[in-house]
Amino acid sequence: MRNGCLATAIVVFQVLGYVAASSADADVLAAGARFPDWTMQDQSGVPRSAADFAGKPYLLWFYPRASTPGCTAEGRGFRDAYAELQGEGLAILGVSFDAPERNAEFAHEEEFPFALLSDTSKSLAIAVGAADSASQGVARRVSYLVGPDGVVWVAYASVDPRDHAAQVLSDVRARRAAPVQPQGGQSKVVD
């Protein structure tokens, strides 16, 4: 019985830690800011960096933990819209604090066609408002749509995992059609 109580306490602590991390106000980069350079391992252990995407727009979506319900829903949304997003010239990159091996399991289980990156040092997350410190257990659910020149097109400070892929696709298409000015809400778009 004692082990059962301990396990329950650990789960409650983890859930509360997740809620605290995901509900805190993220100090995200503003649209128009230069996105920091980064290098992280993907789920295969291959180093990926911002330089790999120079000249191409990409989305970096931070998710709290592999294989959890919200992260799975968000990843499935990107998986299901992947062909359309690629058709718009957009690369999709998930980022969590999970080890590459855990991200590999997640990508395999869900048949994700995009890279999942491991920010195990939490340095990028801290730099872009997805974490406050290296002691934070999970990343906040924030995303950045970064232009081919490394400048933030759209900063998503608050994300609904169920419709984020559709939101990103809409923003990319709107950007192609004509530059959009901020109109309140969760995202900011700049020229």
Query: One-letter amino acid identity for 55?
Result: G
β-pairing, 91-96 vs 115-118, is parallel
- Given 71, 138, 189, 190, the catalytic residue: 71
Does the annotation mark 71 as catalytic?
yes
Q: Please tell me the chain's helix, strand, coil percentages from 3-state DSSP, rounded to the nearest 5.
A: 40, 15, 45
Q: How far apart are CA 44 and CA 52, in angstroms?
A: 16
Sign of the CA dihedral 143, 147, 151, 154? negative
Q: What positions carry a catalytic annotation?
A: 71
